[in-house]
Structure 1
Amino acid sequence: MESVSIGARLASSIVAPLVKKLFVTDGPGAGLVDRPVRVSDLVSFRGEKRALGNAELRKIAEELVERAAQSTGTSERLPAFEQHAVVNAVAHSLGSLGHLDMDDIQAVQLGYLGLSRHLRAGNQAATLGLSSDAVLLHANVMDTACLHILHFFTTRSTFVPRTLVEQSRRIEELSSKIDLLILRTPSPADGGFEERYARYISRKYGKLTIFGLDLPEASGLWPLDAAYLSLEATGTTAGDMPVVLPAEQVLSGRDRVLLRGVAGSGKTTLVQWLALSAARNGLDERTLYLHGLVPFVLPMRSLTRAGARLPTPDEFLAAVGCPIAHAQPTGWYDRVLTAGRGLMLIDGIDEMPEAEREDARSWLRDLIDAYPKNRWLVTSRPSAVREHWLACEEFSELDLAPMSRDDVAAFIKRWHHAAGSADAYGKELLYAVRAKQELARLATNPLMCALICALHRDRRGYLPDGRKELYDAALSMLLSRRDRERGIYRTGDMRIGETHQVQLIQKLAYWLIRNGRSEMDATDVLDLLSRALTAMPRVAEQGTVEQIYRYLLVRSGLLLEPVEGTMQFIHRTFQDYLGARAAVESLDFDFLGGNAHLDQWEDVIRMAVAHARPAERTRLLTGLITHGDASKDARHRLHLLAAACLDDATELDPAVRTEVQHRAEKLIPPRSVAQARGLADVGPVVLELLQGPENLTPDEAYFTVLTAVRIGTDAAIPVLTRFRTVNDLRVRTELALAWSRFDTDRYGEEVIAYLHEEDLFFVISSSRELRTLHRFGGRSFLRITSPLSPEEIQRSCVQDRLTRLCIAADLRCSWEWLAWFSRLTELTLEAPVPEVDVSSLRRVLSLRTLRLPAAARVVGAEQLPPTVKILRAS
């Protein structure tokens, strides 16, 4: 018995008047007071406009059922009690209109069959135990009634005007998006040059040099698409609550960002990736906010080469050696920046001499004052600029987080795949990184991970333990073993031994450090090498100084030529390492100590301690203590630096070690983010000194946890365990965020399981974490940061416990499955996507609050019931 046949036999002249009695009538107009009126406010059998009692409602149901039963012959087959039961069921289902959380537009969009199923679903018990004919009769009567109900809605005087208004709103929103795209479209006069410039950016930044990776015929270059690993950026909101977001989204919803990261953390790689994404002008959802922007990559090491003044906008391309700078149309830069189409990527403020950074800030301020509508990213090492350095220019401040265990695993897998190494090598290395605390502590950024991967493959599984030993082995591999084992030497070729190469290259490194530079003119290189070669006759006799320089540039693997006529190291870390070695060999300990308060010298000092002999270490560290005691302004920095050096001091006078630790203890507990960051840089030795939570203020407890989390190895878990019962929300939030950095099961059992749940979102970054949390009975507030499937979330979340859910990953799905969670009242969608379709959330009847990204276009909001409050992220 089909509903179509029943509907045909129930004439509209009979059904329409009955359905009309269920609703009140409105006057003319668009019905736009507050929000669209809910269906539940239109019915005539409840509320202030009640005109229909329960008895009248049952009579309507009785007449509908009787007419349908007679016209189809069902009445002859149904016992009287079943027909009465169907009448009750229809009455209850029609009564559900009074509780419907949708307006008439949403009901029409749902369709009459969908509305019928929705109403019947709320009264399934009414047909339990009835025959199939009775159940089918109930369904068919409701289908027919809903068909006429929707027809009635479309004939109401407010329906068409309000529908047009909703359409106008969506057209206006779409129009604003189109206007933005038009604003980001170059003028016809500039289009040709911008296409040419985009191709140049794509070629220049489309590949990345990865340490130790020798791809055939590729000079060690790795396609950026394959090399890029999405890391996390962290910071705090105005209320000091931690925030975590993908690093490539730091400029999504933010126009100005100062991003800090330690050496090798991926700052420059991120800059390349943003520039490449903007130049491609594609439709990748992660980078749609960059659509139409023109990237200007401004590495400070190049802009300030040889003490040059900082460039004006018309000089940007020429200052970075762009070969098509001369071809830019007159006034092009001004049109781009005035329209707000510039993506300003200012990389490496820390690579300028400290005395010149205030000039750089003034330069930056002038640019922003002249062209305020663009997006600005400034990168720096953490200690190079103080907290809130650009706060007056309205910059948000974020930190690149250390790589998590999952990040390290992903990098190792990609590196070995790109290198063509056997899977067994990658699996063996991953096991070693997880099993050895010392190795895990080193593998916290892309540079160190790449170095470890290269050495593991080169040495067939053998890895040195400490950082100095890793760098020594890396230099050996780069300077001699690689060329020798690849068999590229021929009779008569120039051949400079590893020791001599190191001696020459470290002189270049020390010159750069002493002069506060990251790049060196070729003329200065040749002059320095010429003087050095007078003491190295066996090397000098192999060729001219120009030939020896070219040999070092091509064969060492440590140097590169960013533009013709300049030289720099492949990474600042190698420059600092070799420069420190030269300083120790020159016995320049007083010079080192005199510059220790400068942030550019921090890594140099640490590596000098590693290179030094025991008596020399004593001299260096004693000097740091003495200078720190005598300096009020630099005391904390120098004492923290001395403590950090302990990790590199393999042999040291116990009395000196005690003095250093004593000074460090005075900086504990940390009382700011900067102090927490500085203590974390000291390394695991700090864990033994961290106090609490007893006798700590809430701020001190939070910064102590932040310190231990940033250290990041499993050795920090016992410290964090002590804080698991602290009630401060900042502490609990930081502990929850840190789960992915530690062993899932151990951290879950020792920390996560004990966290007080009030107002706390438990962060889930993997299926394993979700399953572990399920073992603990689930939690009410969850924040999902990885693209898990809806089935996984349903299977591993406790159905009647979840009340607030934040999804910070693009699950690429609709949302009706969330109806499974009957107590879910608040949903936050944070995925960086250009468009969010929320129409399927109308099925999540418990939902009351929906938070959406500020920049995303929202589709289907008009289909949500008025009980759902929609909020936009600020």
Structure 2
Amino acid sequence: MVDVTALGARVASSAVAPLVRRLFVRDGPGAGLVDRPVRISALVSFRGEKRSVTPKDVDKIASELVRRALSAAGPGEAPVDAAEATAVKDALAHTLARLGEITIEDYEAVGLGPERFARELGAGVPLAPYGLGEGGTLLYERLLHTASLHILNFLTQRSTYVARRQTVQSRQLARLVQAVDVLLERLPSQSAEDAGFEERYADHVAARYGTLTIYGLDAGTREWPLDTAYLSLEATRPQAGQDGRRGPGYGAVAAEQVLAGHDQVLLRGVAGSGKTTLVQWLAVTAASRVYDHGLTHLIGRVPFVLPMRRIVRPGAELPFPGDFLRAVGCPVAGEQPPGWVERVLRARRGVLLVDGIDEIAGDRRAAARRWLRELVRAFPGNLWLVTSRPSAVPEDWLAAEGFHELVLAPMGRDGVATFVRRWHRAAEVDRSVGESLLASVRATSELNGLATNPLMCGMLCALHRDRRGFLPQDRRSLYEAALTMLLERRDRERELHGSDGVRLAYATQVQLLQKLAWWLIRNSRQEMDRDEALGIVDRALPALNLTDAGGEEVYRALLLRSGLLREPAEGRVDFLHRTFQDYLGARLAVQEMDFDLLVNHAHLDEWDDVILLALAHARPKEAEQMLRRLTKLETPRGTLLAAAGLQYAAEVEPEVRARVEEGLATHVPPATFEAAREVARAGGDLVLGLLPGPEDGINDSTAALVVQTAVSVGSEAALQFLTRFRKHSGADVQLFLAASWNQFDREQYAQEILAHLPQQRTVDVFTVDDLRTLHALGGWEDILIRGAYRVEDLLELIVRERLVHLSLEAPHPVEGLAWLSAFPRLKVVSVFTEPDDTWIRQVPSGVRLQYPAHSSSADRQG
């Protein structure tokens, strides 16, 4: 069998180049202006007004690339069979179609080179749905690289490219000139000794902080190159809400830009939110001798990274500037010219990165604030970033010193996807493993709740990889692994030992957190007063043998080090993740044998996870008794909870299992569409794990009922469940899938579902944004416009060469129907209104006009 990695090279340039050219519009006058950016998406031939290639043609091009590669392999040497070759073709076509979506400019693309450009194209195309094996994945990657190489070569040959390159180079030169001006203005005359040491120090900063350590992970790469690991997060300004509390507000800014608008910033972020990573990135960027990064406020500056846990010593004063390097253990500190740091700060060239105010004992924080105040006053004009966990210091802690407060925002869906893909690339794990994890995160509410910051995402990646592509099969194991990392291993590996005056053992932290969690659950509360939390802690101290420590001291240690508690507003306490609250509360419920209390709340959605996790912790007889009680409720909800609970209980008597399964059979799969909606209302996401999939051999009518159930659930997990049916051949299944996108996130549904459906299925359009989303897919053949519309929107956003059947459900057709002549493939127009002879006569020749709402109206041939 031929080496797959050589196949891309075996496809002759004379064969690939003509195929690649077909993906782009012909060059000509006005094809690109050199005084403004030209995006690749504007050059492709299957979008826009200059469209000459349809998405089906892109599929043919991919098919031809695969065919020629396999032909080049020779007889008997093909690395994949016919089925996998088809899957490779589909994946490659989907990837090449992204040329119409990416916003990168042609000149930037060439600068990336074929390897990085191929990764850019493939970043938005998960391979898991295509089921590629090792050979298929390698073939896909090699063909994508080959196509990328020829795409970039083609771009450089366009007549406008040379002129555009000159324009871009001129702009880059102008930016460099500006950067040099800033540098010359900022750099004072230096002695040779100062200049030489500064260069050596910059090299040290790049080496010391150019990698990122991931703490508490059982597997995977612990050291990442920072340029690979860094993920741009957002920082927001805390704003007072209507209830007077502060919370994340509008005005988000990229975290790396926080010092661009303010010289002095106090940045708050929860455990693992990326504070230390941001500090490292700013240090390396400031120390680099690259000046075209766009962060002019960092040019010519000298970074000083000051981790508070390193520079605060028992009984010792905080360091003066001349002792900064020695205090953090910098190996070149001994070479430092006398007075160098002071000269840097007096020239206003310093970037002082004070990381982790929360990581020093509470009784030292007042001294730290005085130290900061004195330094800021003595050396004005430098940049200061101070980081802390949210509850370590009160609001406006440094306001008197002129610091602006910002908060690191949780990662969004795109940020999670980027992190997971980078993690697997850095760990040299197959990309399909990462895509499989992403699918699990999106389909499972508890995983979605965990994946909110780099720390938790890294934990999920490591657990997933360590178990060869599978997360722990039970949620109990997942949460236990997370708790071990958060409560014990992370601080131990970071050499934080009792930094806040008391060190709490892992079991002690868990017991205290359980008590707080169960109190919140029992009282149907999301948060508690701080005094209530202190009371719970105080009452627990004697049994935990912590009477020598005060309740306030224990509470502060738990708040700051666990990473699970926070104070969202002054005097209020809650859990960072509701999923951990439910897990910990369920543990204590079992310890306290509160099984009746659990079952009595089975009718409440918010108790679902608590009940299920209690079943996971309960002993066999306790679990069986809970399951019996749930089935006796004789409600769809009780039945669904009992059925879902079977997978949580470690041991169940056959008689109890049979009773639960018999109850489930009366509801799942549902027998009617009304029953489907009722089951969805009763069970929510719970029902998704109980529904059969297409691989279970269900007939078309049952499949339609299952799809309707998931649509009625309407969550992101339901959307991921529906992806299993997008290739289903049942007409009703396809009809429901095409008609249900308004129940979900529009763009996500279009990519995950619509893009895989037959074009002949009618898609309802309610808004202009719906039209834009269909346009991004390359258009649609059968579109139903619901409600009023503007002709100019339809002409601009409907892909003209794709449309075959158009339905207009409006009070009356707007501006007649003459504009329909713009759609060359249009065959049928359906109008849901009374016919009018004036606009009937405007229907283009060859287009059939019909009136579905008026059975007496005859079709008219235009």
TM-score range, shorter chain: 0.3 to 0.5
**TM-score scaled by structure 2?**
0.42
**Greater RCO, 1 or 2 (C-alpha within 8 Å, sep 6+):** 1
